[in-house]
């Protein structure tokens, strides 16, 4: 029975799940591009304020000053001299637009747009966004949005327009500076940063590679490659490296899921819970004692496996892990969500 319980812990991705509990397997080799990115290659945020029409009486109230002014401005741009006080509409709504523009986009490319009401509209369902400029933090317009809105089913004052914005201005991306290309790790770690530098040196012995800190690795681009950076960067991103495994235990209290890094260990500790007794790193004083004894280097996976074997429920396992962490016997970082 115990062998069967252990066998169902393994799942294709290396994630172990048993009654809401998980364990990460040994760290695999991955490409540099899977754990980091080239400095300068990133997304940028755009924002705009626009007007949605066609809301069948569910738009902003007719007393909304911002709505009146918005409609008046639009009509005046088309030659209609209408003052805000003359506007009596409930079929429109003033909205905030947000979008993220990825690196290397070109004029004519399309991106999604998120739309949300900023006044007192009851619903944006069925509405059409009128042409709205999208600006970056520098005040420059990089895109224009327009189209029919798909509304969130649970929150009808929020929606999205798929491919609703057209890029009008190319966003310049600077990723090559002073002869250097820099790799930034998404999860800073000194061991992993050193491993990345060593992996690059091993594959390309002639390259100058320096780890500046826990997330930043500088690579000097050879003179012969500086006019042809695409294949050079592609070769860097394809280098395989074995990052340091996680030293964290993450607990989602709502779902009862526990994710454990393979390097997390349980120190010398004795645990008593109702009729169950588990000791880690202690010798058994009485041969007739029915408590479970584990070595001091036991992993969290082994410890949790033992707790489940003796019949403890998920809530009890989580409570015990929290208590062990407070006692200073969990060698890793405990994160409770």
Of residues 18 and 47, which shows the higher confidence score? Answer: 47
Domain boundary among 148, 167, 186: 167
Confidence of residue 12 (pLDDT cuts 50, 70, 90): very low
Tokens at 74, concatenated: 């639009």
56 and 125 fall within a common domain:
yes
Confidence of residue 16 (pLDDT cuts 50, 70, 90): very low
Of residues 315 and 280, which shows the higher confidence score? Answer: 315
Tokens at 318, concatenated: 């989580």
- 69-105 pLDDT, tens digit per residue, is 988 888 888 888 888 888 888 899 999 999 999 999 9
**3-class secondary structure, 249:** strand
Mean pLDDT of 105-122: 95
pTM (whole model) above 0.85: no
Domain boundary among 149, 167, 185: 167
Of residues 287 and 152, which shows the higher confidence score? Answer: 152
Q: Total structural domains in the chain?
A: 3
90 and 145 fall within a common domain:
yes
Please provide the DSSP assignment of 111-125 as one string: EEEEEEESS--S--T
107 and 155 fall within a common domain:
yes
209 has pLDDT over 50: yes
> What is the domain extent for residue 235?
30-40+174-241
Question: Residue 85, class by beta-carbon neighbours within 10 Å (0-12 exposed, 13-18 middle, 19+ buried)?
Answer: exposed
Of residues 168 and 287, which shows the higher confidence score? Answer: 168
- Least Cα distance to 38 among 193, 191, 180 occurs for 180
182 and 35 fall within a common domain:
yes
pLDDT at 288: 47
pLDDT at 83: 87
Q: Which residues contact 276 (CB under 8 A, 6 or more apart)?
A: 292, 307, 310, 311, 312
pLDDT at 306: 75
Read off φ and ψ for residue 300, nearest 5 degrees. Answer: -60, -35
Specify the DSSP element, H or E, that contains 24: strand 21-24
Beta carbons of 193 and 217 less than 8 angstroms apart: yes
pLDDT at 243: 86
The distance from CA 27 to its chain's CA centroid, rounded to whole angstroms, is 20
Provide the 10 A C-beta neighbour count for residue 60: 28
Distance CA 35, CA 32 (A): 6
Confidence of residue 112 (pLDDT cuts 50, 70, 90): very high
- 21-57 pLDDT, tens digit per residue, is 344 445 678 899 999 999 989 899 999 999 999 999 9
Of residues 257 and 210, which shows the higher confidence score? Answer: 210
Provide the 10 A C-beta neighbour count for residue 131: 12
- Least Cα distance to 168 among 149, 146, 187, 144 occurs for 144
What percentage of the chain has pLDDT greater than the value 90?
A: 44
Distances (CA, A) of 167 to 47, 54, 99, 103, 116: 13, 26, 11, 12, 21
62 and 140 fall within a common domain:
yes
13 has pLDDT over 50: no
Of residues 113 and 282, which shows the higher confidence score? Answer: 113
- 315-332 pLDDT, tens digit per residue, is 877 888 788 778 777 777
- Least Cα distance to 261 among 189, 176, 160 occurs for 189
50 and 146 fall within a common domain:
yes
Domain boundary among 189, 209, 241: 241
Say if strands 44-53 and 93-101 run parallel, antiparallel, or are unpaired.
antiparallel
280 has pLDDT over 80: no
Tokens at 2, concatenated: 């115990």
Confidence of residue 246 (pLDDT cuts 50, 70, 90): confident
pLDDT at 279: 65
What angle (nearest 5°) sits at the alpha carbon of residue 326, between those of residues 320 and 332?
90
Terminal-to-terminal C-alpha distance of the chain: 33
| Share of the chain residues as helix, strand and coil, in percent rounded to the nearest 5 | 20, 35, 45
Read off φ and ψ for residue 239, nearest 5 degrees. Answer: -65, 135
20 and 58 fall within a common domain:
no
210 and 298 fall within a common domain:
no
256 has pLDDT over 80: no
Place of tokens 């980091």: 36
- 182-205 pLDDT, tens digit per residue, is 999 998 989 999 999 999 999 999
Tokens at 41, concatenated: 């290659």
Distance CA 165, CA 250 (A): 38
Mean pLDDT of 6-34: 49
């Amino acid at each position: 029975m115990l062998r069967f319980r252990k066998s169902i812990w393994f799942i294709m991705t290396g994630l172990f799940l048993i009654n809401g509990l998980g364990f990460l397997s040994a760290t695999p080799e991955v490409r540099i591009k899977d754990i980091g990115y080239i400095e300068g290659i990133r997304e940028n945020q755009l924002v705009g304020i626009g007007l949605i029409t066609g809301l069948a009486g569910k738009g902003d109230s007719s007393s909304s000053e911002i709505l009146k002014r918005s409609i008046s401005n639009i009509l005046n741009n088309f030659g209609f001299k209408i003052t805000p006080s003359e506007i009596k509409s409930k079929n429109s709504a003033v909205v905030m637009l947000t979008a993220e523009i990825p690196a290397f986009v070109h004029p004519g490319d399309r991106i999604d747009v998120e739309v949300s009401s900023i006044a007192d509209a009851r619903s944006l369902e069925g509405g059409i966004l009128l042409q709205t400029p999208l600006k970056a933090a520098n005040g420059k317009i990089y895109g224009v949005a327009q189209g029919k809105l798909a509304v969130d089913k649970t929150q009808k004052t929020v929606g999205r327009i798929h491919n609703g914005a057209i890029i009008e201005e190319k966003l310049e991306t600077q990723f090559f500076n002073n002869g250097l290309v820099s790799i930034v790790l998404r999860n800073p770690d000194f061991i992993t940063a050193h491993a990345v530098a060593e992996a690059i040196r091993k594959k390309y012995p002639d390259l100058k590679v320096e780890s500046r800190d826990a997330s930043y690795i500088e690579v000097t681009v050879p003179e012969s490659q500086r006019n042809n950076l695409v294949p050079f960067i592609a070769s860097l991103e394809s280098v395989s490296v074995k990052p340091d495994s996680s030293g964290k235990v993450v607990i989602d209290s709502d779902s009862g899921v526990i994710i454990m890094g393979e390097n997390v260990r349980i120190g010398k500790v004795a645990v008593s819970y109702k009729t169950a007794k588990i000791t880690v790193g202690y010798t058994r004083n009485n041969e007739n004692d029915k408590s479970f004894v584990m070595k001091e280097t036991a992993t969290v996976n082994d410890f949790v496996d033992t707790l489940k074997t003796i019949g403890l429920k998920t809530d009890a396992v989580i409570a015990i892990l929290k208590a062990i962490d407070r006692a200073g016997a969990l060698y890793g970082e405990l994160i409770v969500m």
